[in-house]
Homo-oligomer: A and B are copies of this chain.
Amino acid sequence: MHEYTGQTRLLVAIDCIIFGFDGEKIKVLLVKRGLEPEKGKWSLMGGFLSHDMSLDNAADSILKKLTGLEGVYLQQLESFGDPGRDPVERTLSVAYFALIDIHKYETQLSDTYHPEWFLQDNLPPLIFDHAQMVKKAKKQLKYKAALHPILFELLPERFTIPQLQSLYEGVYDISFDNRNFSRKVFSTGLLIKLEEKDKTNSKKGAWYYKLDKEKYAENFDAFLHFIPNPDKLIMEG
């Protein structure tokens, strides 16, 4: 039997950045911290890693405990380990992130710990280095969305072009020219026009579309080329 003597052992936390889209805006789910220090302040969904759990399982179980959300696809982002990030005791935090359709999970969201959605551009002050975690997660989202049409996973079954445009504008934090955006979206050949209009925002209305799922599966990279250079966007961000 061998032992690692004289080495430092650290507390390990998991923190989850949950982005949601409500059809108009991208939001971030926050919860009030339940323990000292900074008890009662806004925080990402977090908790300590217990001795017998894998990182992925711990992330799932923390999210479920604090929000009631289950079956959300969480992906590891990176670890934050500055010695002073938690003033009480050095704690390494492994951050996870997810992107969900807010309406789809509305009924699941439990109120026990009072989780709340905040506009991503208007977050309250967060504890420790959580604002830095959100910033990194937003950057990662831009990368992922440039290579995968993952943003479609967030849209309802039928959606309008202005909704799709809001989603991309939210992720990339820029404004697209409306006509240019439509032209590029239609050129992917992935949208099927429906016979109905959404008239909630204008008299003229906006046609509903649905995704051509077969083409979507075959042609997973058709969206690649309409994303502006993510590097430039990321540098500015």
* Residues of chain A whose beta carbon lies under 8 Å from any beta carbon of chain B: 1-4, 7-12, 36-37, 48-55, 76, 78-79, 81-83, 88-92, 94, 143, 146-148, 220-221, 224-225, 229-232
* Minimum distance in angstroms from A181 CB to a CB of chain B: 19
A2 touching B36, Cβ below 8 Å: yes
Contact A50 B147 (CB under 8 A): no
> Closest approach, in angstroms, between the C-beta of A184 and any C-beta of chain B?
15
A11 touches B2 (CB 8 A): no
Question: Which residue in B3, B9, B83 is a CB contact (below 8 Å) of A52?
Answer: B83
Checking B3, B11, B53, B230 against A4 with a beta-carbon cut-off of 8 angstroms, the contacting residue is B11
Tell me, in angstroms, the Cα distance from A48 to B9 when the chains sit together: 10
Contacting residues, chain B, for A53 (C-beta < 8 A): 83
Report the minimal beta-carbon distance from A53 to chain B, rounded to whole angstroms: 7
Q: How far is the CA of A221 from the CA of B146 in the complex (A)?
A: 12
Instruction: Give complex CA distance A49, B229 in Å.
Output: 36
Q: Which of B50, B79, B82 contacts A76 (CB 8 A)?
A: B79
Task: Report the separation of the CA atoms of residues A143 and B221 in the bound assembly, to the nearest whole angstrom.
Answer: 13
The secondary structure that dominates the A interface is loop
A95 vs chain B, min Cβ distance (A): 10
Listed residue (A10, A37, A50, A89) with the most chain B CB atoms within 10 angstroms of its CB:
A10
Q: How far is the CB of A83 from chain B (nearest CB, A)?
A: 6
**Could you list 13 further interchain pairs (A-B, Cβ under 8 angstroms) beyond the known A4-B89, A10-B10, A147-B147?**
A7-B11, A8-B48, A8-B49, A49-B92, A51-B83, A52-B83, A54-B81, A54-B82, A76-B79, A81-B94, A143-B147, A147-B230, A224-B229
Residues of B within 8 A of A88 (CB): 1-4
**Residues on B with beta carbons closer than 8 Å to the beta carbon of A221:** 229, 231
Closest Cβ of chain B to A23, distance in Å, is: 27
Assembled-state Cα–Cα distance A55/B83 (Å): 9
Residues of B near A230 (CB, < 8 A) are 147
List chain B residues, Cβ under 8 A from A224: 224, 229
List 6 A-B residue pairs with CB atoms under 8 Å apart, sorted by A's residue number.
A1-B88, A9-B9, A9-B11, A12-B12, A53-B83, A79-B94
